[in-house]
Chains A and B, each alone.
Chain A
Amino acid sequence: MFAVGAFALPIAAGVAGTLAPAFGFLPAIGGHALTLDPWRELVRWPGFVSSVTLTIATGVAATLLSLIVALAFAAWACARPWGARASAWIAPVLATPHSAFAIGLAFVIAPSGWIVRAVSPWLTGFDVPPDVATVGHPSGAALVLALMMKEVPYLVLMIAGASAQVPVRESLAIARSLGYRAADAWFATVLPRIWRQIRLPVCAVLAFSLSVVDVALILGPSHPPTLAVQAIRWFADPDVRSWFPAAAAATLQLAIVVAAIALLLGVERVAARLGLARIEHGRRDGAGGTVAAAGATFLALLVALAGASIAGMALWSFASQWRYPDAWPSGLSTEGWMRRLDGLASPFATTLAVGAVAVAVSLALVLACLEFEQRRAKRGPPPGLALLYVPLLVPQVAFLFGAQVLLVRTGWDGALVAVVWAHVIFVLPYLFLSLADPWRALDPRYARAAASLGAGPWRVFWRVKLPILAKPVAIACAVAFAVSVGQYLPTLFAGNGRVPTLTTEAVTLSSGADRRVIGAYAVLQALLPLAAYLAAASLPERHRPRRRGSRS
């Protein structure tokens, strides 16, 4: 379990390195005494109340809406034979980094964006774009939408994974024979049993949505922005004394995440009680069907927006000029790509290498953990495993500065190995989340049968378990690879800015606002993980979860 410690400890150190300046202690810039001044400065910041409200509202809304849509879609898909295929279709969305979507979505939904261009001026009469806010709307609606585009597919995949361990078909058949419609049946008999497994992903979504930086920078309100963005702004202020309120904001961010998760667990208990009461009431009004249909429609809309976002950026990368109100670029050429190819090659290679190594290291550690767990005499996950998920729940702004000082002290900053390490911290828990279910669900009789034929535990692992689980392992690796490709802050901090990847380049260039350039990076950012995902998805399916026996 040294793996767990190796990743949890630096985070603890990082959090400490953020907490200290939040209370005025950072000798390098003249903070020698403990004081509450950083907090006073934070609270006195004019945007404080709006920013905190905005942070909580967007984070909670994005999480709840994502959860509702994902559950509704799962309920809708459960009784439809092609529902399972639809899940496979939306999974590629998962492979595209957040920032690529955010940049594309900004173009699609802006008042001068693709949607308005498609119907202007012939239908709307808008010779100039309407002066209304969509991107950056003070409510944060665009930010919520972009988060949902990514989080709904993620939750759908997690729900599918958890459902594999429950006899879904039989449960639905029983409930339907008792007079419940399919969607109601799913809500009453499947959801309560998989909730325990999707609770952690939901918490991860909540923590992420509350503290996201890159998407909020691109799509969120800027005046005032969310707390995480404000913390980054202060960290980036020329006046280094701004680090004190920055650290206080990062600490408050952490507190908000902790409180939100506690609240979620509280709401969960109430919801569970109300839900059980409803189940026992025997109501068969088909309400679930309405919710499910609405959820499926919304998901279709999200996927269409996601597709348009990437397509729009792809088109931009080939555009020579594309002005309002043209719905199509006035000129297309490959000249831009040719000119940028040199600059793209090195970040492309770095992204590929860092991602591949980080996934390989994480996979080795995850499989070691899972094997250890199964070979242990006692059943159930070993203690301390929960620490693995800490990186998913602690906001990145809350520990990255502290972690950077740690890296500089060890002299590892700027080295490729530091970037890989930073990526492993975030890749590992995602990989564990997606692999633990299929691994634990593998019918133990395969291993027993192999052992009875004289195979040792290592042989069983290499020749039986791994081949049977090849596809889920490959898909989990593809998703983990996408996580690595999407890392922005950790790459920046650990690499000292000296290890450019597609994502750091894309976010850096996004401040230059030339969509033709950003488009090229966004497309590559999307293509690389997508290729990995498609390769994984093309593997044959050998794995049958334990509980679904085959029936004639």
Chain B
Amino acid sequence: MVDRLLRLCTCAVLFAALAAPVRAQSPDRDWSDVLARARGQTVHWNAWAGDEKTNAFIAWVGAEVERRHGVKVVHVKLKDTAEAVQRVVAEKAAGRDGGGSVDLVWINGPNFLAMKEQKLLYGPYAERLPNWRYVDTVRKRSNLIDFTIPHEGYESPWRMAQIVFVHDSKRVRDTPKSVVELAAWARAHPGRFTHPSVRNFLGATFLKQALAELAPDPSVLQRPATDAAFAATTAPLWAWYDGLKPALWRGGTQFPENGPAQRQLMNDGEIDILISFNPSEAAVSASAGLLPDSVRTFVFARGTIGNTSFVAIPYNASAKEGAMVVADFLLEPATQARAQDHRQMGNFTVLDPAKLAPEDRRRFDELPRHPALPSLAELGTTLLEPHPSWMTRITAEWERRYTH
């Protein structure tokens, strides 16, 4: 009898928990429930760990969240975000639909699409976060639309990324203003420029950047790629790349595996221009001794591709509330200001300064400057990411054309 009662109670609590977001309840009340349940949970945050500064930032987040909300954060260090996707798939394969090992994933673009399509994500939860109200959803469209896919609240933003180019000002005088000028520069300085492997998101983004500039009609990029559209739209891209490739580092037969490997090449004096997804890359890396002090940042006249990094919660996570508390903490103005400080991590904020209270706005205004740090104005226009199918196809087509 007691047993049955207990089971009934459990069911009721579970039902309440599941129904909570649907019911017309005040948001504050809902959030205090989340906070209460989160206390004591341990969040396994699966995040790429190739950057010491980001790792340190994640550690700091963990300490703060534990101090404030009693939520412990464990940084599960990934070499590639797909490792986390694979873990959740392996758990689904084994029938573990609850008590999963991944609570929060740093994710975006194709990994997000893959998890969303396979129904491996919990949500929608982003709009439930109290700090969601500060998020810039007007000028930073990528906070809502991840690679043309509306995320529908299945992930929450935490930092901005935009393509920039970093050059050694001692070796490069006139910086290229477009991908066409970049190719001309490379031909004039053979072997001094390269891009990360196209299998890497940064390498693929470089090709997408070129495509955005070279495509006869860039608007088709916002729709899924069809065979006909792909052939017509990418023809100028391949013609351009055929002219660039022989002038690349190692004659275009070898590519650095990822962004940091490319940065190492610049530090080793092997290349003069690199591509980064972080506008603060030059400032951050120069002050960390990872690049010469003479590095500066430039972008193209017609703008560069930008996107947002998100955090998502797998459908079988053990600490969903704790994960939401972490996601919310990441959106706090003070947290975002710290993230943007180039001495900390140097990632531009996802928030809209106009929505902030004056004292919070001041946090951003008072951030330290660096000669290699571009201002928002210098960063220019942000171009939207094409639909993921373009990236998949470009990667495959590039492999087909240039792998022997």
A and B touch in the complex (CB under 8 A): yes
Considering only CB atoms, which chain A residue lies closest to B48 in the complex? A511
Q: What are the residues of chain B within 8 A of A240 when measuring CB–CB?
A: 85-86, 89, 114, 118
Beyond A47-B403, A222-B197, A498-B76, 4 extra complex contacts between A and B, CB < 8 Å: A133-B250, A496-B87, A511-B261, A517-B52
A residues contacting the other copy or chain, number (CB 8 A): 62
Bound-state Cα–Cα, A27 to B89, Å: 11
Whether the pair A508, B49 counts as a contact (CB closer than 8 A) is: yes
A224-B403, A404-B90, A497-B78 known; A110+B268 contact, CB < 8 A: yes
Asked if B399 is an interface residue, CB under 8 A from chain A, the answer is yes
Does residue B77 face the partner (Cβ distance < 8 Å to A)?
yes
14 contacts between A and B (CB under 8 A): A29-B93, A45-B399, A46-B404, A133-B254, A136-B254, A222-B197, A222-B257, A238-B113, A323-B267, A405-B94, A496-B76, A497-B83, A507-B79, A508-B49
**Chain B contact residues (Cβ within 8 angstroms of A): what range?**
35 or more
Using an 8 Å CB-CB cutoff, how does the interface string of B36-50 with A read, 1 for contact, 0 for none? Answer: 000000001010111
Interface flag for B91 (CB, 8 Å): yes
B270 contacts A236, C-beta separation under 8 Å: no
Contacts of B12 on A, CB cut-off 8 Å? none
Contact flags B71-82 to A (C-beta < 8 A → 1, else 0): 000101111111
Cβ < 8 Å to B, chain A residues 117-155: 128-129, 131-133, 136, 138
A26 contacts the other chain (CB 8 A): yes
Cα distance A513–B51 in the bound complex, in angstroms: 9
Asked if B289 and A511 make an inter-chain contact with CB atoms under 8 angstroms apart, the answer reads: no
Q: How far is the CB of B262 from chain A (nearest CB, A)?
A: 8
The 5 closest A-B pairs by CB, nearest first: A28-B93, A512-B50, A324-B269, A131-B191, A112-B268
Residues of A with Cβ closer than 8 Å to B?
A: 26-29, 45-47, 50, 110-112, 128-129, 131-133, 136, 138, 217, 221-224, 233, 235-240, 243, 320-321, 323-325, 343, 401, 404-405, 408-409, 411, 413-414, 492, 496-498, 500, 504-505, 507-509, 511-517
Query: Does B400 make an interface contact (CB < 8 A)?
Result: yes
Chain A residues lying within 8 Å of B94, measured Cβ to Cβ, are 405, 408-409
- Cα A311 to Cα B281 in complex, Å, equals 30
Bound-state CA distance A8–B339 (Å) is 49
Considering the complex, give the chain B residue whose CB is closest to the CB of A237. B82
Verify A511–B50 contact, CB threshold 8 A: yes
Give chain B interface residues in 260-308, CB to chain A under 8 Å: 260-261, 263-265, 267-270, 289-290, 292
Given A507-B79, A514-B290, A50 contacting B268 (CB threshold 8 A): no
Q: Is the CB of B260 within 8 A of A238?
A: no
A133's contact among B253, B289, B403, by CB below 8 Å, is which?
B253
Q: Which residues of B contact A515 (CB under 8 A)?
A: 264
Q: A128-B270, A240-B85 are in contact. Are A405 and B250 (CB under 8 A)?
A: no
State the CA gap A129–B265 with chains docked (Å): 10
Q: How far is the CA of A84 from the CA of B222 in the complex (A)?
A: 69
Is the beta-carbon distance between B51 and A29 smaller than 8 angstroms? no
Q: What is the distance, in angstroms, from A329's C-beta to the closest C-beta of chain B? A: 10
